[in-house]
């Protein structure tokens, strides 16, 4: 294939590829296409890839690859949310796949483009929409009740002073730019220049997760992967903060039948279903060499598992 050089460095790339074990003829879903870093390596290994992304910019860039013009194509791009992968693949004539990879959260390209409004490092419009449609961050912050904003900051950003920040946001309305929001949050929390972490980080994370329904999407995507993977198929999920990793860890724990005992004196109850995933292994994180190349990998966690032959559990609605 001839694809342009990736504009960012995919996190835990070697570990993800090792977990998926791509080979000629295998069919793998890249649920979060982005700049296509994982997809490139999967195609190089001979796999066929169905890649999903709700961001029109990512799909437009992917369509420029010559690989999409092969007949039959080994790369099929789906401009949809990855929670819709079961329906999308059924439309493409596929009921099962050999692997699914997810790289959860915002991409490097989105963060680095000030006009997308995901970060406060460069001032830009208060947007944060991955799909570039629907309610923006500005829409939410300028119209939602103070209590609603506080709940979002606490639930998705684990901001302990969420009520104070929400009160400051409402008092400062209307907000139009990322710089304005960052200033309001810093002032509310007492920003100290030179501190290791900007106090606005948690609020920006929380608002972004809310605007894009990211945790609901993750729940639905994991269930979709369980339904799609063939026996022996591989799931690999890279997450970047504790909320995401907690969901992935709990999903795999439940799916493997690893239910903790309420008491060591009571025998473990048999699982209510045959385990759908096995070979969980340990969570993997970036080594020192990768961290030196790509500091953004510092918070990344990879969890992988192998699909058993047991029927998938009932899927939750997307």
pLDDT tens-digit profile of 65-114? 755 556 678 999 999 999 999 999 999 999 999 999 999 976 566 555 65
d(Cα 232, Cα 99) in Å, to the nearest integer?
Answer: 9
Judged against a pLDDT cut of 60, whether residue 1 lies above it is answered with no
pLDDT by residue (tens digit) across 305-318? 999 999 999 764 44
Give me the domains of the chain, ranges plus CATH numbers.
Answer: 13-108+214-307 (3.40.50.150), 116-212 (1.10.150.170)
Neighbour order of strands in the sheet with 277-278: 75-78, 48-52, 27-30, 97-103, 229-239, 301-307, 277-278
Judged against a pLDDT cut of 70, whether residue 269 lies above it is answered with no
pLDDT by residue (tens digit) across 75-85? 999 999 999 99
Other Cβ atoms within 10 Å of 297 Cβ, number: 20
pLDDT by residue (tens digit) across 122-175? 889 999 998 889 999 999 999 999 999 999 999 999 999 999 999 999 999 999
Cβ neighbours of residue 229 closer than 8 Å, sequence gap 6 or more:
96, 97, 98, 99, 100, 235, 307
140 contacts 189 by C-beta, under 8 angstroms: no
């Amino acid at each position: 294939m001839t694809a342009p050089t990736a504009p960012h460095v995919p996190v835990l790339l070697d570990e993800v590829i090792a977990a998926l074990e791509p080979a000629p003829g295998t069919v793998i879903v890249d649920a979060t296409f982005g700049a296509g870093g994982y997809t490139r390596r999967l195609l190089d290994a001979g796999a066929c890839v169905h890649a999903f992304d709700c961001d029109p910019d990512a799909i437009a860039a992917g369509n420029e690859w010559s690989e999409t013009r092969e007949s039959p194509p080994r790369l099929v791009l789906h401009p949809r949310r990855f929670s819709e992968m079961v329906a999308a693949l059924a439309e493409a004539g596929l009921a099962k796949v050999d692997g699914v990879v997810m790289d959860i959260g915002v991409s490097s390209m989105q963060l680095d483009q000030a006009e997308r409004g995901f970060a406060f490092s460069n001032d830009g419009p208060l947007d944060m929409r991955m799909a570039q449609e629907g309610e923006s961050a500005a829409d939410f912050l300028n119209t939602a009740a103070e209590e609603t904003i506080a709940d979002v900051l606490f639930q998705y950003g684990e901001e302990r002073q969420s009520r104070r920040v929400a009160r400051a946001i409402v008092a400062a309305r209307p907000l139009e730019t990322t710089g304005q929001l960052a200033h309001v949050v810093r002032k509310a929390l007492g920003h100290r220049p030179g501190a290791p972490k900007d106090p606005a980080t948690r609020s920006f994370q929380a608002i972004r997760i809310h605007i894009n329904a990211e945790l609901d999407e993750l729940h639905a995507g994991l269930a979709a992967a369980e339904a799609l993977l063939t026996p022996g198929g591989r799931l690999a999920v890279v997450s970047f903060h504790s909320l995401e990793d907690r969901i992935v860890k709990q999903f795999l724990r439940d799916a493997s039948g690893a239910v903790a005992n309420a008491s060591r004196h009571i025998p473990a109850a048999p699982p209510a279903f045959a385990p759908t995933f096995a070979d969980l292994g340990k969570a993997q994180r970036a080594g020192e060499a990768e961290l030196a190349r790509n500091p953004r990998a510092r918070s990344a966690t990879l969890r992988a598992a192998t699909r058993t032959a047991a029927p998938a559990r009932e899927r939750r609605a997307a």
